[in-house]
A and B are shown apart, each in its own frame.
Chain A
Amino acid sequence: MPLCGYALAMISLPASLDRNSAVGLFEDVVGLLAGGATRVELDAGQVRHIDAFGAAAILEAHGAASQAGAEFRLRNVSSQTREVLALLRVDRVLSTSREVPAKEPLLARIGGWGFALTHSAVQQAALNVDGLFLTFIAPFRRKGPRVVQFIRQLNLIGTQATGIVVLISFLIGLIMALQSASQLRQFGANIYVADLVGISMTRELGPLLTAIIVAARSGSSIAAELGTMVVTEEVDALRVMGLNPRRFLVAPRFAAMVLALPCLAILADLAGITGGFVVGVFGLDIGANHYWNQTITALYTSDILSGLVKSFVFANVIAVVACHCGLSLTGGPEQVGRATTRAVVSSIIIVILADFFFTSIFYLLT
């Protein structure tokens, strides 16, 4: 309780300086300082019990007084209070709180980010080269991916994703046909729904949708699995056994991804076209043969091939980003979740950027 104000302020500390009284003490001191006190004295003569909350209030009051340019005194400290303050290492807490954390200059931070980004890009490029080598060249030298692991990954990435890829592509085909039909009907051009759905699915939406689904589904799984293997030292165990983790872990996943994704994209194309077909035939009264012939006439081999090229590139991106995020993980198990999120977000962004790049190239070429 404050005994007097203005220049000299004296507070007699309560018998129990704990969680219930500590905040009040600090607020009293702050009030006195705001009232113009230039010297604050705390009398600890009556204190019989003090805990970490009380000690924190004393340290904060001391800090507030120093900041206000006021003198701070703590009187009549009993040996018991002294012991508690020593146990709570108030000296160390005070000296740490006085340390001003070194702030890195902005330019240095930008440089650091740039370096980290470049380093990561170089590592991922190297991983991509290794993945391509191990998938397409090394098998002829009997050093390719392990067959059992490759088949397991092919099942996880390809077979098990078929259902969701087909379902979503079919629904997108339906939606696209319905949306475009409402516009084209005004010009009596319903039949061009077949062109629109066919070309959009094969050139653009089939590969892109498939890549996004696979990035979310399998990219996250790869990053989490490899990240966990890093945390449990399984990757280190492979290294000390003289086994290359890229051949053991990256190659089966990379090879399965570059094989599965284009196949899934073809299924997505077919499912999307089927969706458009259902709307065209049952909703717009276009004859089944008429719709089918219109789709075949509208599509060129180059449309399908450009979609497959995109799928192959997207597969590279997803596999490399996911493997890199998993294998470059540092820290404990809590980092696995972050690596997984990073893998999905990064691969989707890079996939869309790559799609934009390819679409621009194909547009300019045609």
Chain B
Amino acid sequence: MKTGEIFVIMGPSGCGKTTLLRTMTGLIEPLAGEVRYQGRVVKGQKALDEYRRSFGMVFQQGALLNSISIMENVALPLREHTDLPDWMIERVVEMKLAQVGLLEARNRKPMELSGGMRKRAGIARALALEPALLYFDEPSGGLDPITADGIDNLILSLTESLPVTVIVVTHELASIFKIADRVMMLRDGKIAVLSTREEVKNAKDEGVQHFIHRRAPAEEGAADAFLTEVGGGSE
């Protein structure tokens, strides 16, 4: 991963994108191989805790704690991982919420927000500790095109203004070709292509072309074997 880039992991449903993301964030243990961050292997609870404090993650549905307000959600990592005074935490949280356009909704509970707003609140929470690395799981998933574009713009503005590296898992083509610096396509749990977005557009790989041009591979002859078996000739 290059520092400051937006790296997109794409691929069809079931190809292993989410499994890879969950492995990278330490939610599941890799069956083989290892997770490395800044040259060090992330192994053991202590290393995992340290690693987790250096990144933020935005979940598909926001994954905010429903029992507390948006402000408390964003403040949670600050309260738990720092000894900052309350006034400082409040100001930082307000700034993070303002950054994602949710300052006015700070006292509302997650269930009172729309899908796009919850995702923005999730971004504010992920940014709370000023992480060097941000993971996004399907940032535009389930959103209307305009709200999705707003999230894309927000991701772009983050990398422009902050020293942050972004890893996005998605299969939304419009998002991919708008925000990605580099793209990795997975197929059947393996890397099919890893390149810049322009090179991926022109990749020769048939699976990649099917994916980016939204073409489902045709299934032919699905009745031939049966008809041959029962001698089903033409009229």
Contact = CB atoms under 8 A, between A and B. Distances in A.
Contact of B230 (A62, A87, A242): A62
B76 A241 contact: yes
A85 B227 CA distance: 9
A239 B27 CA distance: 7
Interface in A211-258: 229, 232-234, 236-243
Interface in B204-235: 219-227, 230-235
B80 interface: yes
Contacts of B77: 241-243
A237 B231 contact: no
A89 interface: yes
Given A86-B223, A89-B222, A77 B235 contact: yes
A285 interface: no
A90 B61 contact: no
A140 to B, nearest CB: 19
A260 B26 CA distance: 36
A232 B224 CA distance: 45
A86 B221 CA distance: 6
Given A77-B233, A240-B27, A240-B52, A94 B64 contact: no
Interface residues of A, number: 36
A73 interface: yes
Given A87-B222, A241-B52, A241-B76, A77 B234 contact: yes
Nearest to B50: A242
B63 A85 contact: no
B233 A91 contact: no
Nearest to B76: A241
A82 B26 CA distance: 51
Contacts of A94: 225-226
B60 interface: yes
Given A77-B234, A243-B76, A91 B27 contact: no
Interface string A43-80: 01100000000000001001000000000111111110
B16 to A, nearest CB: 17
B64 A234 contact: yes
A91 B231 contact: no
Nearest to A77: B232
Contacts of B219: 89
Given A74-B227, A242-B53, A237 B222 contact: no
Nearest to A73: B231
Given A236-B63, A240-B57, A75 B233 contact: yes
Interface in B44-62: 49, 52-53, 55, 57, 59-61
A82 B53 contact: no
Contacts of B49: 242
B99 interface: no
A59 B224 CA distance: 14
A90 B63 CA distance: 42
Interface in B6-31: 22, 25-27
Contact of A72 (B65, B224, B230): B230
A85 B226 contact: yes
B89 to A, nearest CB: 15
Interface string B68-109: 000000001100110000000000000000000000000000
B147 interface: no
Given A73-B231, A78-B235, A241-B77, A91 B63 contact: no
Given A234-B63, A240-B25, A91 B226 contact: yes
Contact of A232 (B27, B61, B231): B61
A234 B219 CA distance: 40
Interface in B148-183: none
Given A78-B235, A91-B222, A73 B230 contact: yes
Q: Which 9 A-B pairs have the closest CB atoms?
A: A85-B223, A237-B63, A242-B52, A233-B63, A86-B223, A77-B232, A74-B232, A74-B230, A89-B222
8 contacts: A45-B235, A74-B232, A79-B235, A86-B224, A94-B225, A152-B67, A236-B63, A242-B49
Given A73-B232, A82-B227, A242-B80, 19 more contacts: A74-B232, A75-B231, A75-B232, A76-B234, A77-B227, A78-B235, A79-B234, A82-B234, A86-B223, A88-B222, A91-B223, A94-B226, A236-B59, A237-B65, A238-B65, A240-B26, A240-B27, A243-B76, A243-B80
